Amino acid sequence: MSAGNGCGAPEGGVTLTDGQAEDQAVIQGTVTRDAQPLRGAYARLLNTDGEFAGEVATGDEGTFRFFAADGDWRIRVLASQGFSAEYEVTAQTGKVVDLQVHA
């Protein structure tokens, strides 16, 4: 789905729970600023060497989601006003990693 944000990254969608992950390893999150969802932030999926694996833009609800292989990953979140943060996560089939990012 096209985000219409100029970079071609798809927008994140509704969040999932562990019961909905079943045979997937899910890394997702919500980006907020001043307790409000932040549209147009970018979440990048990086391997442990810092190599780019994927990117999504947050939509109206400030959410992002990746379906990843089991193992260790980094999520880098970039937002307006110079915000940048990086999180180390471990993906596991049937589990949902849920990040709450306050930009």
Helix/strand/coil (H/E/C) assignment for every residue in 34-79: CCEECCCCEEEEECCCCCEEEEEECCCCCEEEEEECCEEEEEEEEE
Q: Which pLDDT value is given to residue 11?
A: 62
Mean pLDDT of 5-14: 51
Asked if residue 4 belongs to a domain, the reply is no
pTM: 0.79
Residue 37 belongs to a domain with what CATH number? 2.60.40.10
Q: Report how many domains make up the chain.
A: 1
Asked if residue 1 belongs to a domain, the reply is no
Which pLDDT tens digit goes with each residue over 53-102? 999 999 999 999 999 999 999 999 999 999 999 999 999 999 999 999 99
φ, ψ (nearest 5 deg) of residue 44: -115, 135
Instruction: Name the 3-class secondary structure at 12.
Output: coil
Asked if residue 10 belongs to a domain, the reply is no
Which bin fits 23, alpha (ψ -120 to 50), beta or left (φ > 0)? Answer: alpha
The label of the residue with tokens 């985000």 reads 3
Asked if residue 100 belongs to a domain, the reply is no
Q: Which pLDDT value is given to residue 19?
A: 53
**Banded model confidence at residue 7, pLDDT cuts 50, 70, 90:** very low
Mean pLDDT of 31-35: 97
Range of the domain at 62: 20-94
Asked if residue 103 belongs to a domain, the reply is no
